[in-house]
Amino acid sequence: MKNKIKKGTLAREKEKWAYLFISVPVVFYLLVRFLPTFYAFYLSFTDWDIISASANWIGLDNYKRLFTDKIFYITLSNTFYYVLYGLPISILVGFLLAYNIDKVKIGSGLFKTIYFMPYITSMVAVAWVWRWLFQPAPIGIFNNILISMGIPMQEFLNSVEQSKGCILAATIWSGVGFQMIIFMAGLKGISKQYYEAAEIDGASAFNALRYITLPLLRNSFIFLLITGTIRFLRIFTQVVNMTRSSGGGPLNSAKPLVLYIYDTAFRSFDMGYASALTVILFIIILLITLIQMRVTRNER
């Protein structure tokens, strides 16, 4: 709303100072964030390989190569696998933990600490311990347990079918504390009066959960949905550490798109192609985020 009244000198002064102070981080942000991003967009149309002095313009060649690149599609589908399986499971487990710990009277602090500790542990350390757990017999603990129960040894990280599941197990285990905390905060925000009213009306525990708790946790759920999607789309550390020798699981079965970009850029030194892959990833994340924002906004 434009003010029709002429501003006083003091207000003008304050405005000038404000612009001055804002301009510094804006300049910084432009240079450090936006400039490299636009440079990557530019690189995607070149064949730069770091060590050449010049980057030659090759137009859409990188993108044409991308559309026929088998590995790109494998890594893309791996990334979606991580999101489509990891997200619901981690939110469900987080909610179950929060809901039940909320009902616990004694020792709830202890439970919260135990379930939150994996979240603050370094992902690299988590990845290496889980990697050890998934080893084949005789040193892999999971396999030793399975064998003692009479179940044949599983290949886990060395299997094309199971490698993604193993990565997800470690990821969900380490991240569930965060979902739990967010849901607990949400639960605490629900006024007890609703539950008391429901009790008086003779509602069962399940109905209370369905008609009071879940609807009022919508905001927590939406928050976890958006942050979780971004988190699973960016999966990288655990895959690198858990499949270090095979670089993404046998036959790229566990390789997410981010790892493919990293390998292309820094192992094969193919910066132009890696930039093209990054642009595609950027567009995908942008689309998903926009869709999520549109869907969740309408229902509010």
Binding interface with other proteins (CB under 8 A) = 13, 16-17, 20, 24, 28, 47, 49-53, 135-139, 143, 147, 152-153, 157-160, 245-247, 250-252, 263, 266-269
For residues 49 and 102, which CB has a smaller minimum distance to other proteins in the complex? 49
For residues 48 and 178, which CB has a smaller minimum distance to other proteins in the complex? 48
CB 185 within 8 A of CB 259: no
Amino acid letter for position 220 = S
The least CB distance from residue 261 to other proteins, in Å, is 14
The least CB distance from residue 173 to other proteins, in Å, is 22
One DSSP character per residue, the chain reads: ----SPPPHHHHHHHHHHHHHHHHHHHHHIIIIIHHHHHHHHHTTB---SSSS---B-TTHHHHHHHT-HHHHHHHHHHHHHHHHHHHHHHHHHHHHHHHHHH--TTHHHHHHHHHHHHHS-HHHHHHHHHHHTSPTTT-HHHHHHHHTTPPPP-GGG-TTTHHHHHHHHHHHHHHHHHHHHHHHHHHTS-HHHHHHHHHTT--HHHHIIIIIHHHTHHHHHHHHHHHHHHHHT--HHHHHHTTTTTSSGGGTT--HHHHHHHHHHTS--HHHHHHHHHHHHHHHHHHHHHHHHHHHHT-
For residues 224 and 265, which CB has a smaller minimum distance to other proteins in the complex? 265
For residues 160 and 185, which CB has a smaller minimum distance to other proteins in the complex? 160
The least CB distance from residue 250 to other proteins, in Å, is 5
The least CB distance from residue 247 to other proteins, in Å, is 7
For residues 58 and 89, which CB has a smaller minimum distance to other proteins in the complex? 58
The least CB distance from residue 221 to other proteins, in Å, is 39
Reference 85, options 163, 164, 162; nearest CA is 164
For residues 21 and 282, which CB has a smaller minimum distance to other proteins in the complex? 21
The least CB distance from residue 233 to other proteins, in Å, is 24
CB 276 within 8 A of CB 66: yes
The least CB distance from residue 66 to other proteins, in Å, is 14
The least CB distance from residue 126 to other proteins, in Å, is 18
For residue 221, give both structure tokens.
């759920």
For residues 90 and 143, which CB has a smaller minimum distance to other proteins in the complex? 143
For residues 69 and 180, which CB has a smaller minimum distance to other proteins in the complex? 69
